[in-house]
Amino acid sequence: MTNFISLADVADIDALIQSGRDAKANPFADQHLGHNKTIGLIFFNSSLRTRLSTQKAAQNLGLNVMVMNVGQDSWGLEMEDGTIMNGDKAEHVKEAAAVMGRYCNILGIRAFAGLQDRDKDYSEQVMNQFKKYAAVPIINLESATRHPLQSLADCITIEEFKPVPRPKVVLTWLPHFKPLPQAVANSFCEWMNQRDVDFVVTHPEGYDLAPEFVGNARVTHNQDEAFDGADFIYGKNWSSYIRYGKVLTQDSSWMVTGEKMKLTNNGKFMHCLPVRRNVKVSDEVLDSPQSIVIEQAANREWSAQAVLKAILNNL
């Protein structure tokens, strides 16, 4: 694998999922692969799971890890080409990416959507600038429109827990008072559309995801109907794509509760975390055996390890 920015970088999803499951079974089998190699993890935004799981996976593979918070450990980076840099950004990504690429064999980059300018966010400027200038493999640690390490962990989790060969998987919008990016939902759609699952997306009106992500998935505004017979409920809030970055409703009837989970086929509840309890989903659900959010988060280590191994094998 050359980069891991989106699903388009993955030649064989099944093999990558299996590689993650192999890493879980035997974490240190490939420890020689990273010897005397270094990954830089560059965060433009906060992180808990991605920060720790990617570091851990890298160490399992024998890689050295350097972590940097942009704008905190260092200064802000200018992403626009041709600009006169007389503002608050002290360095251009052309230099920063190229230099980091000289110190690191692989770079992981986290840069969330700004949610102000849809075209800019959906152009994936930060990922693309790093890809263009770093001259080393780039791993997406959550970008403006995608979170593929999460999606790969989700696939691994569904493989582990699916009760039937072709499970019904439901992505449901959850209420939240703050505008959040569409990245996790987009990415989940992108990956599920390539999996052998019965995939349904449900959300209130006005929360349609971008067509290139939702693809041919079945979409309904009726959450109950979507939940009916589901094997997996994947909860996530996102702000509107159509009225970009806006919170159109906080309708609490969309919160996942024990009552709603009864509509499912003893379905498992998934969420990428962090999750606001009793806003997006009730304690009752998260504290029940139906919730697999911790196992799902634990699989972030193995999705990162599968990706790192594929990239190291190609260095």
CB 230 within 8 A of CB 254: no
Stretch that binds a second copy, among 4-12, 140-148, 206-214, 268-276 (CB under 8 A): 268-276
The binder of a second copy chosen from 7, 22, 38, 193 (CB under 8 A): 38
Go through 137-164 and write b for each residue having 16 or more CB atoms within 10 A of its CB, e for each that does not: bbbbbbbbbbbbbbbbbbbbbbbebbee
User: Which positions from 126 to 145 touch a second copy by CB under 8 A, shown as an x/- string?
Assistant: --------------------
Residue 91 touching a second copy (CB under 8 A): yes
Residue 288 touching a second copy (CB under 8 A): no
Long-range contacts, stretch 72-77, CB < 8 angstroms, 24+ apart:
77/44
The binder of a second copy chosen from 18, 128, 257, 278 (CB under 8 A): 278
Q: Give the Cβ contact number of residue 21 at 10 Å.
A: 16
d(CA 308, CA 39): 9
Contacts of 263 (CB under 8 A, 6+ apart): 224, 227, 228, 229, 230
- Residue 221 or residue 276: which is nearer to a second copy going by CB? 276
Residue 275 touching a second copy (CB under 8 A): yes
- Residue 141 or residue 214: which is nearer to a second copy going by CB? 141
d(CA 28, CA 30): 6
- DSSP, collapsed to helix, strand or coil, labels residue 228 as coil
**Residue 49 Cβ, how far from a second copy at the closest point, in Å?**
6
Residue 158 touching a second copy (CB under 8 A): no
Residue 86 touching a second copy (CB under 8 A): yes
Q: Which residues bind a second copy (CB under 8 A)?
A: 27-28, 31, 36, 38, 40, 43, 46-49, 51-53, 55-56, 59-60, 64, 66, 68-69, 72-75, 78, 81-86, 90-92, 94-96, 98-100, 102-104, 177, 273-279, 283, 286-287, 293-294, 297-298, 301
